[in-house]
Amino acid sequence: MISRFARSLLVVVTILVLVTMLGMLHAPSREAYIDPWTGQLFGEGGVEEHLAVVAAAKEQAGKILQNVPVVKVNAKAAAKGGVIMPKLGNETAKAELGRATWKLMHTMTLRFPKKPNADERQALSSYFYLMSRLYPCGECATEFQQLLAKYPPQTSSRLAASQWLCGVHNEVNKRLKKPMFDCAHVDAAYDCGCGDGDEEEGEGGSKVNKGNVAKVRSGSKKGGDVVVEGGVLDEEEGTHDDLTGIDMIRGG
């Protein structure tokens, strides 16, 4: 007689053998695959099928993009459009934004090329017109557009651009009943600390910063220059914008 333990052991072994044989005849298909390096989960079929699906999706996206119409933007027309931004009600934010923007624009004109080419002049002019559309304070942008209509940007030189902007800034100061800037010293008020300004030797070996220049109503001439306090005005740069023919704005 076979003992009860032996019979139980025999049954267990028999079941294990049958399960193993069935597993060998019908290998289970994997429903998913996890990349051990990246941890990425792939669907049934493994990596190859997943890559095929991705490639098909990219091809479909490419066909869709080919059918999207290309919109050509006229840069000049875009620069001369209306104000885009809404009204800014926070007076504190408006004041902080104004100070930061004036510093940016003054520094830009004071570092503008002394003898810019046509592309550089167009870039600066477009910048101011785009600023008048995109400035975050809508009511401020409207006023800036009115000033641009009355005083178009002057970009024939660094001098012309910096003095034009100083004059426009003084127009705003006048409306706000703020002190006027002395445009002959605008570079001192908005010194970027760049340390690479154009300097020349003056009388007695003193340094004269040619960024401190302005059109003046009176002054003495020495060596073809109109001498002003704190700087000189090169006559070769002219006293008006040669693109618009407009006399440079006097500030101060």
pLDDT in tens, 43-80: 555 556 667 777 888 888 777 777 767 656 566 777 77
Integer Rg of the chain from CA: 37
Domain 74-252 in CATH 3.30.70.2860? The answer is: no
Determine the 3-state secondary structure of 34 from DSSP. Answer: strand
Q: Which two tokens stand for residue 128?
A: 């101011």
- Residue 99, pLDDT > 90, answer yes
Q: What's the average model confidence in pLDDT over 200-218?
A: 41
Sign of the four-CA dihedral 224, 244, 187, 200: negative
pLDDT value of position 174: 95
Q: Which two tokens stand for residue 175?
A: 């409306």
11-20, 155-164, 231-240: least confidently modelled range: 231-240
- Residue 16, pLDDT > 90, answer no
Domain boundaries, the chain: 30-66, 74-252
pLDDT value of position 214: 41
- Residue 246, pLDDT > 90, answer no
Whether the pTM exceeds 0.75: the reply is: no
Task: State the Cα–Cα distance between residues 95 and 91, nearest whole angstrom.
Answer: 6
Determine the 3-state secondary structure of 129 from DSSP. Answer: helix
Residue 79 or residue 29, greater confidence:
79
When pLDDT is cut at 50, 70 and 90, the band that residue 96 belongs to is: very high
What are the backbone angles phi and psi of residue 111, rounded to the nearest 5°? -110, 5
Give 225's DSSP letter: E
Identify the residue whose tokens are 């073809």.
224
When pLDDT is cut at 50, 70 and 90, the band that residue 242 belongs to is: low
